[in-house]
A and B are shown apart, each in its own frame.
Chain A
Amino acid sequence: MHHLKTKKNRSFTASIALLFLFFSVIHAWAEVDDTVVLSPVAQAEEISVAGASASGTEEDDWLDEDSWNDEWEDEELIADPLEPLNRLFFHFNDKLYYWVLKPVARVYSGVFPEEMQIAVRNFFDNLRAPARAVNCLLQGRMRNSSQEVVRFALNSTAGILGFGDFARDVLGLDSSHEDTGQTLGYYGAGGWFYINWPFLGPSNFRDSIGMVGDAYLHPFIFLDVDWEVTAGAWVLEKVNYTALTLGDYELFTETALDPYAAVKDAYQQYRKGLIENK
């Protein structure tokens, strides 16, 4: 009896999920309906244009007369009460990059061709689709949320476990880049103070809370995958990412006078852009 009940429960959950998926497909498709005849690239452009106007940030403060002339007025500097510790960890990450990550990533990129590195990146990116879908929903971005559901469903299947980006390449459905930290920012949470984590790199209080949220929405966590596997996957993702961006870190830090300050500011600007969906 009990057995039967769980079975029933499961099929109920599955049918709800299917129903949601079905509506998501229709919802996402309705948006691209009149551009079906276009090529995938053209579709992608259509969507991104529609997305840009929908987000409602038509007036870019960059073009604002005041900000143009009075450009010395910066946005507030993020508090950094942990600066000595942050600098220590920055130094640690810097050494980790030059002594471990970079040499490993060099060998890695010598062994695996770029197409494969891109496939690995897609795989890990696909695993974050549930977190993105939930966070789009929490920010009231229904269309993006359903798009993420469709992306996850299609890329996990037709895209072969997410190694390919079928949804983008064939249907022109782009990823939304949302996460929990951005949702908190959307509801007005400031960064509060800067944190430079060892291994994880630049963050702030809000985005660190966000990382916990994202972790709970990650399939590895909710499917209760062994922590060794999770840790191994994290290392692989990090090496793979480094292989794809070799040289960028050096160029940025070597042309900054105080690399710590430059990275701190770049992180803040980058996150602000993401939260405002520019």
Chain B
Amino acid sequence: MVIRNIMVQHKSRIVVILLTMVCLILGAGGAALAKGPMDQLQVSVDEIVEILQSDELKGTEQKEKRKQLVLNVVVDMFDFREMARSSLGPSWNELTAEEQDKFVGLFTSLIEERYIGKIDSYNNQKIIYKKERVKGSMAIIYTAIVDKELEIPIDYKLKEEQGKWLIHDLKIENVSLIANYRRDFDGILRKEQFAGLVKKIEEQLENSKQQSQ
């Protein structure tokens, strides 16, 4: 029994050594190899956390600077055009190219408003990366944030484009951001068409700008 245990221990140690060697070899030549979606997400989230926790950027007077730095990271994480298209539903195809571009810009600002405000209140909460499920160029990453001892699930839906995984939607406590906005926009599109929707978003953005000042 004892001998077997030692054998097993040895065996696992050999495996570890072998694995380390494989990793080193791969790592040396494969630094440029594309990382999985979860790793990519984690790198970006770590970057944001670092910005929010840096001592030089603390305080309300630095808020704008902090926001800009976070935005720089966020812009590379999301596929805003795809999200905007999907949030509009079939109406997207009826828009001219200029209208589409305009809408993407407005939609992006709206998302930023909703999430940057939330992100800025980040205070060392623990982020748990649970698992990733990949199917071809699609992936779902299951994470959670522990806030005030409660675990809040956040799931990301991603798609790969040229080796980079971009977020297409996220669910917080099972509420999909895109599905929620689609429902919200749909009611307004039906009554007031695209022009009414644009006006509403612009008003909303103006309101929140005034409130943050």
List residues of A whose CB falls within 8 A of some B CB.
45, 48, 60, 62-63, 65, 68, 71-72, 74, 77, 114, 117-118, 165, 244, 247-248, 251-252, 254-258, 261-262, 264-266, 269-270, 272-274, 278
Contact = CB atoms under 8 A, between A and B. Distances in A.
A74 B188 CA distance: 17
A72 B183 contact: no
Given A118-B149, A244-B148, A257 B200 contact: yes
Interface string B180-213: 1111110110000000010011001001100100
B121 A62 contact: no
17 contacts: A60-B140, A62-B140, A62-B155, A71-B178, A77-B183, A118-B148, A118-B149, A251-B118, A254-B113, A254-B204, A254-B207, A257-B185, A257-B188, A261-B187, A270-B175, A273-B174, A278-B174
Contacts of B4: none
A72 B90 contact: yes
B69 to A, nearest CB: 20
Given A118-B149, A261-B183, 18 more contacts: A45-B128, A60-B133, A60-B140, A62-B155, A63-B139, A71-B86, A71-B178, A244-B148, A247-B121, A254-B113, A254-B207, A256-B184, A258-B188, A261-B184, A262-B184, A269-B174, A273-B171, A273-B173
Contacts of B113: 254-255
Contact of B183 (A45, A63, A265): A265
A74 B185 CA distance: 14
Given A63-B135, A72-B90, A269 B175 contact: yes
A136 B204 CA distance: 43
Interface in B74-120: 86, 89-90, 110, 113-114, 117-118
B40 interface: no
B108 to A, nearest CB: 12
B66 interface: no
A265 B211 contact: no
Contacts of B140: 60, 62-63
Contacts of A118: 148-149
Contacts of A114: 148
Nearest to A119: B149
B119 to A, nearest CB: 11
A251 B197 CA distance: 20
Interface string B4-35: 00000000000000000000000000000000
Interface residues of B, number: 42
B176 interface: yes
Nearest to B207: A254
Contacts, number: 89
Interface in B28-65: none
A194 B176 CA distance: 19
A63 B171 CA distance: 13
Contacts of B171: 62, 273
B135 A252 contact: no
Nearest to B149: A118
Given A74-B183, A269-B180, A257 B204 contact: yes
B109 to A, nearest CB: 10
A92 B118 CA distance: 25
B188 A255 contact: no
Interface string B127-161: 01010010100111000000011000001010000
B117 A269 contact: no
B200 to A, nearest CB: 5
Nearest to B86: A71
B148 A269 contact: no
B138 A258 contact: no
Contacts of A74: 179, 182-183
A141 to B, nearest CB: 18
B208 A254 contact: yes
B86 A63 contact: no
Per CB-CB distance, the 10 closest pairs between chain A and chain B, nearest first, are A273-B174, A255-B114, A265-B183, A269-B175, A257-B200, A262-B184, A266-B175, A72-B89, A261-B187, A255-B113
